[in-house]
Amino acid sequence: MKKDIKKIFLDTIYEYGLLKEGEKILVGCSGGQDSVTLLLLLHSIKDKFKLKLFVCHLNHGLRKEATKEEIFVSELSKKLNLPFFSKKVNVKDFYRSDSLEQTARFVRYNFFKELSQKLKVKKIALGHTKDDLIETVLMRILRGSGLMGLRAFKPLSEIEGMQIIRPLINIERKDTLSFLKNLNHPFCKDSSNLDTKFLRNKIRLKLIPFLIENFGACVKEHIFCLSKICWQDYEFIEEEAKKFFRKISSISEKEVKINLEKFQKLHISLQSHIFRLSYQSVKGDLKKLTFSHWEEVKNILCKKSNFKIVYLPEQIIAFKSSDKLIIKKVDLKK
């Protein structure tokens, strides 16, 4: 049965409250089938919601066709009579210890943040589909993950003060392709999507077809449902953890002190979340923090370790001092 993509798109917007009347929306468009579908669908409801749309495109400088893609999105924006903004960067110049994919994501979100501040736009629409979410869940499973990672991404999330909306999250990639074919609308094909040296591509091209062939087509829907369950459960646990974190902690810019007597009366799940919140409070994010770091901290609290200090990423330490667990930023170079 042919799917009504526009109906699914609108149902998703209403279900998760993704749009409000009269809002400004920055639309990320790479020129690929999913982001072009997103742009066309948003344009089709622009008058209905009285939206002001801005199109943005980041040229990563990674592939020879990148300039053609930038021109394509520019011309499409012009055809739709929408303001267009682009930036060209060489992602390799920013590459450090993260993977190239992660570096590209970092550069892309910095561009979104820079542009959203300039245009005074609070919401950014991205073309992530149901398939993107399923692939992300499988990536997280293979790399090791808890509830937070298994959520993958949500229809509405906040990153560094920006609201990210994903109206295509209930739509499969094959349906965005059908949508564009029915319109006879062009889009750009990313040649790097066929390169299996990238984990996401290997999952898309090899693992998922294997799972479908051996365990049935329903496996994709099961993974999608797993992610939705994890959104709900993680959000509940996180909200509870935040309540206790505020009650039992003394928080400053470079240090968090946790009341150990109250901390150790809590469920182990809340303890691990409070530890993560403490680290995030000191560092600003959770990058490089792993489950093994929590295991080390738990061991010094249970006296299962001869060590008194746990060295965490980015020159942060955790140690037990009298009746407190202290997570602190230090200068280890001194």
Distance (Å, whole) CA 28 – CA 36: 9
Residues 6+ apart with CB under 8 A from 148: 234
3-state DSSP assignment of residue 61: coil
* Residue 219, both tokens: 């496996």
CB-based contact 39:89 (threshold 8 Å): no
Task: Compute φ and ψ for 42, nearest 5 degrees.
Answer: -65, -40
Q: What Cα–Cα distance (Å) separates residue 280 from each residue in 131, 224, 251?
A: 30, 28, 11
Residue 92 gets which letter from DSSP?
Answer: G
pLDDT at site 86: 93
Determine the residue type at 50. K
Among the listed residues 48, 83, 49, 55, the one whose alpha carbon sits nearest the alpha carbon of residue 69: 55
Domains, the chain, in order of start with CATH, read 5-129+148-194 (3.40.50.620), 252-329 (3.30.465.60)
pLDDT at site 96: 57
pLDDT at site 110: 87
Among the listed residues 249, 246, 251, the one whose alpha carbon sits nearest the alpha carbon of residue 282: 251
Beta-sheet pairing, 255-259 with 324-329:
antiparallel
Which residues in the chain come in under a pLDDT of 70?
1-2, 62, 91-100, 304-307, 332-334
Tell me the pLDDT tens digit for each residue of 162-171.
899 999 999 9
Beta bridge partners of 56: 28, 85
Tell me the pLDDT tens digit for each residue of 92-128.
666 555 566 777 777 888 899 999 999 999 999 999 9
Find the angle CA(333)-CA(295)-CA(248) to the nearest 5 degrees. 85
CB-based contact 122:116 (threshold 8 Å): yes
pLDDT at site 304: 60
Distance (Å, whole) CA 178 – CA 210: 23
Provide the whole-model pTM.
0.88
**Number of residues that this document lists for the chain:** 334
pLDDT at site 267: 96
Distance (Å, whole) CA 329 – CA 310: 12
CB-based contact 74:113 (threshold 8 Å): no
pLDDT at site 190: 83
Beta bridge partners of 31: none
Distance (Å, whole) CA 21 – CA 3: 26
* Residue 188, both tokens: 């750009």
Distance (Å, whole) CA 123 – CA 112: 10
Residue with tokens 């798109």: 9
